Amino acid sequence: MTQLNVVGKSVVRPDAYDKVTGGKHYPVNYSLPGMLHGKLLRSPYPHAKIVAIDTSEAEKLPGVKAVITHADVPQNVFTPVYFVPAHAKSMVQDFVVMSDRVRWAGQPVAAVAATSADVAEAALQLIDVEYEELQPVFDPEEAMKEGAPQLHDNAPNNIAKAPSFSFGDLEAGFAEADHIFEGVYQTQRVHTCYMEPRVCVVDSETDGRITVHSSMQHGFGLREKMAVALGIPESKVNVVKPTYIGGGFGGKLDVGHIEPVAALLSLETGRPVRIEHTRGEDFIATTRNPIKVYLKTGVKNDGAYTARYIKSILDAGAHATHGAEVIMVHGLYGTFFPWKCPNQTWEGFSVYTNNIIGGGYRGYGAPQGCFAVESQNDEICEKLGLDPIEFRSGNTHKEGDPHPVLQGHTLNSYRLDDCLKKGAERIGFDRRAPANSSEGAKKRGIGFACHPLWVSGCLGFPDIYEHSGATVKLNRDGTADVVSSCIDLGSGQITMLTQVVAEELGLASEAVRVVYADTDTAPFDAPTHASRATYSAGLATKAAAVETRNRLFKAASAVMEANPGDLYLEDGKVLVKGAPDSGVPITEITARAESAFVQMTEEGPRLTTIEEKGTIIGSASQAPPSNPSPVAAQFVEVEVDTDTGEVKVLHVVHAADAGRVFHPKAAEGQVEGGFQQGMGYALMEHLQFDQDTGACLSSDFLDYKIPTSMEMPPKIESIFVESNEPTGPYGAKSMSELCLIIPAAAIANAVYNAIGVRVTELPITPERVLRALGKL
């Protein structure tokens, strides 16, 4: 690999100063003159038909400019998920922006635009909705039973989607097994807890064009879904890329209600309309789908798998949306293909209930799968007295193996064994005592888990967009501008793009700026999700920068009278190979490229060449060549208070193969932030709903608990084993989602090691620990 000057270094994040001084470019801070404020009226009932809505009193309230109900909203049915086409065959189309049928408590049934948010809020209370209540069903297994309330006409037994995979001979595999293990593993509903709420400002033109500003993860997805929702051509919708957003984590990967509703209100009033979710509204806008995993595994005495049967029941909530894809990813990459088992069957059920609609959340089905499989793996090793590290190593893939899912692709870089070995060494796994062997009320335990297969994007997934594009332009002052639709969620995409361009153009990273982009002017990019940005957008931006460099060399070759193939870049200069003193500053080349053919000088007119003229610019739009798997193993040490049931994580070691690490500090930040989300999932986070009314009981941070800095383990160590992913930009592939896919399983295994009993339902609350210990 050639020497790299910018990639691999912890360069200063260009957005850091702006963010720590208030971050004025967050979409939540956006406003326009004359802007109205919208609010949504939400159904108190989880399942109902709207008989009548009377908005006349609301319309009379001074300051109210427009009121809309389902009758004003196009009844276009589509999939609101950004990363697939609105009518993708692999997905389920069951969503309309507003309907006369209510399927979850909190579903918007009307909206108001007014001169202030308070007036809009007051107007909501003047809207009289007459509902006919229907029987709700909240439990997916209840919803699958005959006679259960049906949510959608074309989904018998409320099954939105029931995919399955199988290979080998399951029966023969179980017959061959020396031991069979069975378990049920249940995960809960959680929220990504992005800091910036879902918020948008939508403006409209007299010709029906609309411009959208929104805190979301995919501009082109939003454009497409807006067009479909409103029944207008895509070209009538321009989505402005947010400079950055206050977090998404997968929770802003679908058009919900606010953008189309704001557009309708804007079209009706001719004024820009802003809608911002309250935290309580955000908590019911998206969630990681709970999945109940029934897991049966056959193993030989030596720990080799012989057979595995998996049944996964996913609570999709009121509409399938992400639930139709999460179940697939959970099956493929969460449970089935990560592990090498010769005889396997997986059956998945994505089931409608009167719960809130599921959304994306980093890991997208894998945390639920990893928790189930790695919990059971731990049980197997414990019961059979097997070395848990050798057990993982023996049942997973090896570098050079064919990719288990993608035909024709190879696991070019795959260092799981190194991750297991180095992680175990660092935490001192050999000092691990047998389960429940420490004295006293506070018991310590060490556990680990790994996840042997994940993604760098979505190449190979049916219907999922994957290509990226960028334009790179050199300025006369020696800086470069990058136009990219890749949205920075906070995880450093802007920094990554500047590193790529700086590397290719021989600039300092500070000389590269990611600038304005919108869907009218910038090339397409898939969303920032699925650990794809560095790999896919990084490769496309690299290709654009190479185009720019080629253009620069073409101009330089005219100026310098050298062959373009003999030129190279260093420290802001173009040089001729073999003549290190020959350098001409890039600024001089770009200045000449942008100047008139005849230049007046003190010595009189100077003729330049036609060949050197024209903006030094390059662009690319391309799909990535593959979908390499990152891998990681995570070791944790916990302390369990057996009096109160409280679990404290003391030490974490995350060992990852991410290919080349682009930005070491940012990578460590991803490990730590990811662990925080994973630990919240493991120990405390739980979106809870009243089981009679479907009302959200944890609609703010008083009741929805996430780990604060005070609960974070005092020691988190990141180990990056070096590997080179040949298809990736500079040898890189993805890393970040694995940081939070694994913690629940690792912590569950450590808790088992501490107390000798296993909690198979998340979150592992103090109460569940005490129940497991038989103390309640």
Using CA atoms, how far apart are residues 185 and 293, in angstroms rounded to an integer? 5
What angle do helix axes 664-683 and 743-755 make, rounded to 10 degrees? 60
The region of 116-124, 136-144, 180-188, 549-557 touching another protein under the rule CB under 8 A is 116-124
Using CA atoms, how far apart are residues 577 and 556, in angstroms rounded to an integer? 13
The region of 189-197, 513-521, 579-587, 638-646 touching another protein under the rule CB under 8 A is 638-646
Rule CB under 8 A: say whether 205 interacts with another protein: no
Using CA atoms, how far apart are residues 323 and 359, in angstroms rounded to an integer? 7
| Residue with smaller CB distance to another protein, 45 or 662 | 45
Beta carbon of residue 44, minimum distance to another protein (angstroms, whole number): 4
Span 382-411, contacts to another protein by CB under 8 A: none
Cβ burial of 605 (10 Å; 0-12, 13-18, 19+) is exposed
Contact partners, residue 234, CB within 8 Å, separation at least 6: 223, 224, 227
Neighbour tally for 477: CB within 10 Å = 10
Beta carbon of residue 64, minimum distance to another protein (angstroms, whole number): 14
Rule CB under 8 A: say whether 615 interacts with another protein: no
**Are 9 and 660 within 8 A, CB to CB?**
no
Provide DSSP, 208-222: S-EEEEE--S-HHHH
Interface residue with another protein among 471, 698, 727, 760 (CB under 8 A) is: 698
Rule CB under 8 A: say whether 52 interacts with another protein: no
Provide DSSP, 60-96: HSTTEEEEEEGGGS----B--BTTS-TT-TTS---B-
Helical (H) or strand (E) element with 166: strand 164-167
Using CA atoms, how far apart are residues 78 and 99, in angstroms rounded to an integer? 13
Beta carbon of residue 291, minimum distance to another protein (angstroms, whole number): 21
Q: Which of 96, 94, 107 minimizes the C-alpha distance to 48?
A: 107
Rule CB under 8 A: say whether 87 interacts with another protein: no
**Are 264 and 202 within 8 A, CB to CB?**
no
The region of 207-215, 449-457, 501-509, 700-708 touching another protein under the rule CB under 8 A is 700-708
| Residue with smaller CB distance to another protein, 281 or 503 | 281
Beta carbon of residue 710, minimum distance to another protein (angstroms, whole number): 4
Beta carbon of residue 643, minimum distance to another protein (angstroms, whole number): 5
Which phi and psi (to 5°) does residue 607 adopt? -85, 135
Interface residue with another protein among 11, 36, 40, 45 (CB under 8 A) is: 45
The region of 92-100, 385-393, 496-504, 706-714 touching another protein under the rule CB under 8 A is 706-714
Interface residue with another protein among 29, 75, 125, 599 (CB under 8 A) is: 125
Contact partners, residue 553, CB within 8 Å, separation at least 6: 564, 567, 574
746 is written with which tokens? 């690792």
Interface residue with another protein among 546, 650, 770, 773 (CB under 8 A) is: 770
Interface residue with another protein among 18, 59, 72, 121 (CB under 8 A) is: 121
| Residue with smaller CB distance to another protein, 28 or 533 | 28
Rule CB under 8 A: say whether 180 interacts with another protein: no
Using CA atoms, how far apart are residues 247 and 288, in angstroms rounded to an integer? 15
Rule CB under 8 A: say whether 700 interacts with another protein: yes
Q: Is 728 helix (H, G, I), strand (E, B) or coil?
A: coil
Burial state string for 744-760 with b = 16 or more CB within 10 A and e = fewer than 16: bbbbbbbbbbbbbebbb
Beta carbon of residue 711, minimum distance to another protein (angstroms, whole number): 5
Rule CB under 8 A: say whether 122 interacts with another protein: yes
- Residue span 737-766 as binding mask against another protein, x where in contact by CB under 8 A, dash where not: -----------------------------x
Q: Which of 488, 486, 497, 392 minimizes the C-alpha distance to 746?
A: 392
Which phi and psi (to 5°) does residue 170 adopt? -60, -45
Beta carbon of residue 346, minimum distance to another protein (angstroms, whole number): 33
Beta carbon of residue 697, minimum distance to another protein (angstroms, whole number): 4
Rule CB under 8 A: say whether 773 interacts with another protein: no
Provide DSSP, 252-263: TSB--SHHHHHH
| Residue with smaller CB distance to another protein, 160 or 762 | 762
The region of 122-130, 169-177, 304-312, 370-378 touching another protein under the rule CB under 8 A is 122-130
**Are 84 and 91 within 8 A, CB to CB?**
yes
| Residue with smaller CB distance to another protein, 122 or 384 | 122
| Residue with smaller CB distance to another protein, 88 or 647 | 647
Using CA atoms, how far apart are residues 195 and 540, in angstroms rounded to an integer? 29
Beta carbon of residue 446, minimum distance to another protein (angstroms, whole number): 24
Interface residue with another protein among 384, 623, 695, 757 (CB under 8 A) is: 695
506: left (phi over 0), alpha (psi -120 to 50) or beta: left
Interface residue with another protein among 90, 99, 410, 688 (CB under 8 A) is: 688
Burial state string for 294-304 with b = 16 or more CB within 10 A and e = fewer than 16: ebbbbbeeebb
Rule CB under 8 A: say whether 643 interacts with another protein: yes
Interface residue with another protein among 10, 44, 183, 588 (CB under 8 A) is: 44
Interface residue with another protein among 108, 338, 707, 713 (CB under 8 A) is: 707
Number of residues that bind another protein (CB under 8 A): 40
| Residue with smaller CB distance to another protein, 114 or 264 | 114
Span 96-115, contacts to another protein by CB under 8 A: 105
Interface residue with another protein among 706, 756, 757, 761 (CB under 8 A) is: 706
Beta carbon of residue 646, minimum distance to another protein (angstroms, whole number): 8
Beta carbon of residue 116, minimum distance to another protein (angstroms, whole number): 10
Residues lying near another protein in the complex (CB under 8 A): 44-45, 105, 117-118, 121-122, 125, 128, 643-646, 684, 686, 688, 690, 692-693, 695-703, 705-711, 766-767, 770, 775-776
